[in-house]
Amino acid sequence: MENNTHRNIKQTNPNELPSALPDVQQLIGNKKPAVFLDYDGCLSPIVKDPDKAILTEAMRSTLRRLADVCSVAVVSGRDRADVKGLVQLENLYYAGSHGFDISGPGNLHTEPGGAAAAIPALDVAQEELKEQLQNIEGAFVERKRYAIAVHYRNVPEEQVSEVLEVVQEVLAKHQELKPGPGKKIMELKPNLDWHKGKAVLWLMDKLELNQPDIVPLYIGDDLTDEDAFATLQGQGVGIMVGEHDALTAAEYRLEDVTEVQVFLEALTKAVKQQA
């Protein structure tokens, strides 16, 4: 599968996307799916405290059954160990830190993208952010292995601009880092040409999924998932969960986590019927 950086990407208002639910079998045709999906907002609802984004046993069972019939990977901005600990399934692949850290069955563990070189800059930026944001109520600086997430969901509206200004000031001092906007969050990430879409391509190649009888599906809810939607456009299926404030390269939509589970159950059934 080729990268689509130089293709014209079609973008749509999320509200105008058709639902992915009515006919899942038609969505994949006679092909076997390879499923890639985000964690927060897709497998677990968005919550004020990221530590409380717990996967339900019902969703875990759904993922387990799906992974029994096709390849499934969780592609998250969370640290790989964090998201793996939340999902607790050994037959899935995990791409953490927006794809900079990947593991899976068969002792697979690799860190593509070259992010290790940015760790010193992340260490310094982390301390600068903590010092400058410590007096802003609700601001939370979360350090990940290959990123720093500045959460402002709980910051008073009149102080949000101050938080974002601090982040921009810190970024300006570290050329090794770049911004990664999301829902009520701003991340500082390694300034490298690597993202969720490239992580999906890497997994497709590694798992030998670049076959004419396999169709990749990516399910995501955030701005960081747009790279994957764009990468797969024309070669797979992008499914937006909920909506965000920008246009999307996804082609279908699911309303919320509940609909994601219904979709995954239907997908499992469709794959079994093909066998």
- Of 38, 79, 225, 227, which one is the catalytic site residue? 38
Following CA atoms 67, 194, 1, 39 in sequence, which dihedral angle do they give, to the nearest 10 degrees? 20
**Alpha helices by DSSP H, the chain:** 24-28, 57-67, 80-87, 119-133, 160-172, 196-206, 226-232, 257-274
DSSP class of residue 210 equals: -
Alpha carbons within 13 angstroms on the beta-carbon side of residue 271 total: 20
Look up residue 151 and give its two tokens: 């959460």
Is residue 51 part of the annotated active site? The answer reads: no
Q: What is the DSSP string of 249-267?
A: --SEEE-SHHHHHHHHHHH
Catalytic residues: 38
